[in-house]
Amino acid sequence: MISETYQNDNIFKKIEFIFVPKGAEYRAICRGLRRINAQIPLILPIPMGVNAFKAYLETNQGGSVLNVNLTGMEM
């Protein structure tokens, strides 16, 4: 079971935020992480699309953001 796997080894210790596309993806991630018996990072819903995401980052500058590009899109 997932909660047993991560119960003693909290992989989220160094992660402060997880950006997830708004909508069904966000709800699915939140639902899945509620099953983990550990402290989890803040889950932030973000808009879909490169331009919308850029605008989101520009208007929500509260600190540094590490962009890990897993989609192959240019940013």
* Residue ranges covered by each domain of the chain: 15-59
pLDDT tens per residue, range 35-57? 887 788 888 899 988 899 888 88
pLDDT score at 75: 46
Q: Rounded distance, CA 26 to CA 18, Å?
A: 10
The model carries a pTM of 0.59
At residue 21, φ and ψ (nearest 5 deg) are -55, 140
Identify the helix (H) or strand (E) that includes residue 52: helix 50-59
pLDDT score at 68: 55
Q: Rounded distance, CA 51 to CA 57, Å?
A: 10
* Tokens matching residue 12: 């989220």
| Bridge partners, residue 43, by sequence | 18
Number of H helices, E strands in the chain: 3, 2
pLDDT score at 15: 79
User: Which carries the bigger pLDDT value, residue 28 or residue 15?
Assistant: 28
